[in-house]
Amino acid sequence: MVVLQVEEMSCSHCASMVTKAVRSVDSAARVDIDLANKKVQIESQADVAEIADAINDAGYPVTSSKVV
């Protein structure tokens, strides 16, 4: 599992767009959004860098990542 910090998420639309970006890389990914802390918790077999790139491309910069 990986936790990404996505500082520019602020609403449910943002969360939906980030989830869509993750699922564009891995349609089976489990995505949990924590808007209050601006974190995205992801369980996926896909490459973390590829997921982060998809989120960045959607307009939501990933500022950090950590494997837990």
Domain definitions of the chain by residue range: 2-67
pLDDT band at 27 (very low <50, low <70, confident <90, very high): very high
Spacing of C-alpha 3 from chain mean position: 8
pTM of the model: 0.95
What is the percent of the chain with per-residue pLDDT over 70, rounded to a whole number?
Answer: 100
Q: What is the pLDDT of residue 26?
A: 98
Q: What fold characterizes domain 2-67?
A: Alpha-Beta Plaits (3.30.70)
Q: What is the pLDDT of residue 57?
A: 98
Q: What angle do CA 6, 36, 41 make, to 5 degrees?
A: 50
Phi and psi at 54, nearest 5°, equal: -65, -40
Q: What is the pLDDT of residue 30?
A: 98
